[in-house]
Amino acid sequence: MSDMEERTFVAVKPDGVQRGLVGEVIRRIEARGLKLIALKFVQLPLEVALSHYCEHEGKPFFDDLVKYITSGPIVTMAFQGKHAVLIARSVIGATNPVQAAMGTIRGDFAAEIGRNLVHGADSVENAKREISLHFKDSELITTWHHTGEQWIFGS
Ligand code: DAT
Ligand code: MG
């Protein structure tokens, strides 16, 4: 796999949808140069939410987290590009919006850890797991040519 094929999974959570921030989230990630390879508007079934957040099972905030992510429709996306995981995480900002830097999505629009607007996979491995949980292989469209790529990534 080439560096340029690193993938990440991002979701606009129910509060992001309700607050009209879907476009803002996509815009900021697109602007960093990542290539969109999948996108859906979905209401997560409980079992998908439980699987998505399985690493947090047993933590005190787990039940609220699952309630929150299943409380309304979300937008799920996969992006591809060199350092896709880190780039998306840096656009999103720190988990607790109180600590998130200005200029990040959470730092600019959120105030509460339980309403932090966006999800971004935290590693290449988790991104793979999340992309295959939320998308069928046939829903990933990687064949299109991202014309800005050579100017953004220099390759
Ligand atoms: P991130 O979403 O930045 O990857 P995470 O994977 O550690 O953060 O946690 C998943 C989500 O769970 C996070 O977006 C908000 C919630 N969460 C994490 N830690 C929490 C805490 N201490 N109290 C309440 N909610 C928390
Ligand atoms: Mg996480």
For the chain, what are the domain ranges? 5-41+76-143
Binned at pLDDT 50, 70 and 90, residue 155 comes out as: confident
Query: Domain 5-41+76-143 classified CATH 3.30.70.520?
Result: no
Taking only the tens place, the pLDDT of each residue in 41-77 is: 999 999 999 999 999 999 999 999 999 999 999 999 9
pLDDT digits (tens, 9 = 90+) for 67-112: 999 999 999 999 999 999 999 999 999 999 999 999 999 999 999 9
C-alpha 56 – ligand 1 centre gap (Å): 8
Q: How far apart are CA 87 and CA 105, in angstroms?
A: 13
12 has a pLDDT exceeding 80:
yes
Going by pLDDT thresholds of 50, 70 and 90, the confidence category of residue 118 is very high
Looking at the CA of 126, name the nearest ligand.
2
- Cα–Cα nearest to 85, from 27, 141, 134, 129: 129
**Structure confidence at residue 15 (pLDDT):** 99
Band (pLDDT 50/70/90 cuts) for residue 4 is very high
**The pLDDT value given to residue 1:** 82
The mean predicted confidence, pLDDT, of the chain is 97
Report the separation in Å between the CA atom of 88 and the middle of ligand 1, taken as the mean of its atom positions.
16
CB atoms within 10 A of CB 106: 24
Q: What is the CA radius of gyration of the chain?
A: 15
- Sequence letter at residue 124: V
Given a contact cutoff of 8 angstroms between Cβ atoms, the answer to whether 77 and 148 are in contact is no
C-alpha of residue 92 to centroid of ligand 1, in Å = 13
Which atom of ligand 1 is closest in space to residue 114's alpha carbon?
Answer: 25
Minimum CA distance residue for ligand 1 atom 7: 95
Q: For the whole model, what pTM was predicted?
A: 0.98
Tokens of 134: 């939320």
Mean pLDDT of the 122-150 span:
97
* Ligand 1 atom 5 nearest Cα: 95
Is 134 an active-site residue?
Answer: no
